[in-house]
Amino acid sequence: MTVIVRPAPAPWALFALWALTGLVGVLTLLGMFSIGIFVLPVAVALLVVSIVRTAHAPDGWPAIAGLGLALAVGIAWLGWVLATSGPSAMSCSGGADLPTTCTSGGRVIDPDAVEWATAAPWFAAASVVVLLTFVGHRAARRFVTAAGQRPAPGPAR
């Protein structure tokens, strides 16, 4: 009888698979009213593949922390959108031989500018989520590895 033994995927490969699954899920949510419905089947398929691969990998469950990277990308994207969206009430004037000047509330503004003061807290929050993701993944890997090295409980002698 021939037994085929497949090598377990590397922990970083499962982590990357979960991060990709989360990124596709974030893309599905962000594009809900445009391309999200077309990306949804891919997100569901990736979720199923991620769960199956993780379930068959010994000590693979800490890789789910890869979803934290997707959360961080979603937070950073939200910060970028808020920082690049211009004011709601803006008027621009100019001519063929004059520069275009835009104003909002009596202030001259640049409609293409990025408001870094608005983006910075979101980027900082995304950075914290990335840090917590890697720390949590490392702690979970240590816990699972330590649990796997303990002797099996048996009858007291």
Structural domain contains residue 154? no
pLDDT for the residue numbered 20: 94
State how many domains the chain has.
Answer: 1
- The count of residues in the chain is 157
Q: Is the pLDDT of residue 38 over 80?
A: yes
Q: Is the pLDDT of residue 32 over 70?
A: yes
DSSP element (H, E) containing 102: strand 101-104
The radius of gyration computed from the CA coordinates of the chain, to the nearest angstrom, equals 24
- The structure's pTM equals 0.72
Q: What number is the average pLDDT over the span 139-152?
A: 74
Structural domain contains residue 57? yes
Q: Which domain holds residue 31?
A: 11-86+119-148
Structural domain contains residue 102? no
The larger pLDDT score, comparing residue 38 to residue 5, is at 38
Structural domain contains residue 5? no
pLDDT for the residue numbered 126: 96
CA distance 157 to 147: 22
Long-range contacts of 133-137 (CB under 8 A, 24+ apart): 133/65, 133/66, 133/68, 133/69, 133/71, 133/72, 134/65, 136/65, 136/68, 137/15, 137/62, 137/63, 137/65, 137/66, 137/68
8-17, 46-55, 65-74, 83-92: range with lowest mean pLDDT: 83-92
Q: Between the ranges 56-60, 125-129, 147-151, where is the mean pLDDT highest?
A: 125-129
Q: What number is the average pLDDT over the span 25-34?
A: 88
